[in-house]
Amino acid sequence: MVPADSFSDGKRALRKEMRRAVSVFVSENDADAVSAGICRRLVSSREFASADIVLSFVGGPLEIRTDVLNETALSSGKTLALPKVVGEGIMEFRVVSPTVPLSAQLSSGAFGICEPVDGLPVLSFAGLSGKNVLVVVPGVAFGRDGTRCGHGKGFYDRYLSALAEKIPAARAVGLCLPCQVVESVPSSPLDVPVSGVFF
């Protein structure tokens, strides 16, 4: 068993390494074009095609851009929900409208990342029942084996754990830039892996 201090140190070092790698990647590449290509692969996938509901995100400054994914979900008639931080370590997903520009439904939220504005409907676990659900998960780094390193707040680990109890058939996939993929990420029993990674 890996000592807790060594495990934490390993994740901290990985986050630092990934911040540097993403900064270099973004400075040397057209991040918008790369992001669009990756998102197009996702929206062409079996996972996306079979989904009734897509739980996506809006990428931060050093994350993949998700515009193509989110707009395609809306234009193809799927329910699109985006995360909003509502408490210490707690987030919920809010459903956005396909009839209002997405930019008008977002505002700067926790950690300076765009989130759904107040007033949009909360997507409860009951609202997911009987639906094909695809969760598109951001991360600082992903392992080729599905392991994931987030920002260390545990938002997605908590949400995905609860989702798996309520909706066992829900699928979670990682979405990231190519420079964010490593062989494996240090993980603990509390870290929830994804079933695949698009990069």
Q: What is the pLDDT of residues 47-102, one digit of tens each?
A: 999 999 999 999 988 899 999 999 999 999 999 999 999 988 899 999 999 999 99
What distance in Å separates the CA atoms of residue 2 and residue 52, rounded to the nearest whole number? 40
pLDDT recorded at residue 61: 83
Residue 182: pLDDT band with limits 50, 70, 90: very high
**Is 151 marked as binding a ligand?**
yes
**Is 11 marked as binding a ligand?**
yes
**Is 155 marked as binding a ligand?**
yes
**Is 153 marked as binding a ligand?**
yes
Across the chain, the runs of DSSP E, i.e. the strands, are 53-55, 79-87, 90-95, 106-108, 114-116, 133-137, 141-143, 148-149, 171-175, 181-182, 196-198
Local structure of 116: helix, strand or coil: strand
**Is 14 marked as binding a ligand?**
yes
pLDDT recorded at residue 2: 52
Neighbours of 6 (CB within 10 A): 10
Mean pLDDT, residues 15-41: 97
Say if residue 43's pLDDT is above 50.
yes
Per the CB < 8 A criterion, the answer to whether 96 and 54 are in contact is no
Residue 5: pLDDT band with limits 50, 70, 90: low
- Provide the β-strand partners of residue 141: 149
Q: What's the domain count of the chain?
A: 1
pLDDT recorded at residue 71: 98
Q: Please work out, in degrees rounded to the nearest 5, the angle formed at the alpha carbon of residue 173 by the alpha carbons of 122 and 178.
A: 125
87 or 144, higher pLDDT: 144
Q: What values do phi and psi take at 6, rounded to 5? A: -65, -40
162 or 111, higher pLDDT: 162
**Is 63 marked as binding a ligand?**
yes
**Is 156 marked as binding a ligand?**
yes
**Is 16 marked as binding a ligand?**
no
**Is 158 marked as binding a ligand?**
no
Say if residue 42's pLDDT is above 50.
yes
**Is 12 marked as binding a ligand?**
yes
**Is 120 marked as binding a ligand?**
no
CATH of the domain at 156: 3.40.50.10420
pLDDT recorded at residue 1: 46
**Is 174 marked as binding a ligand?**
no
Q: What is the span of the domain harbouring residue 112? A: 4-198
Residue 129: pLDDT band with limits 50, 70, 90: very high
Residue percentage of the chain with pLDDT more than 70: 97
Say if residue 10's pLDDT is above 60.
yes
pTM of the full structure: 0.95
pLDDT recorded at residue 62: 86
State the chain's mean pLDDT as an integer: 95
Say if residue 7's pLDDT is above 80.
no
What distance in Å separates the CA atoms of residue 84 and residue 96, rounded to the nearest whole number? 12
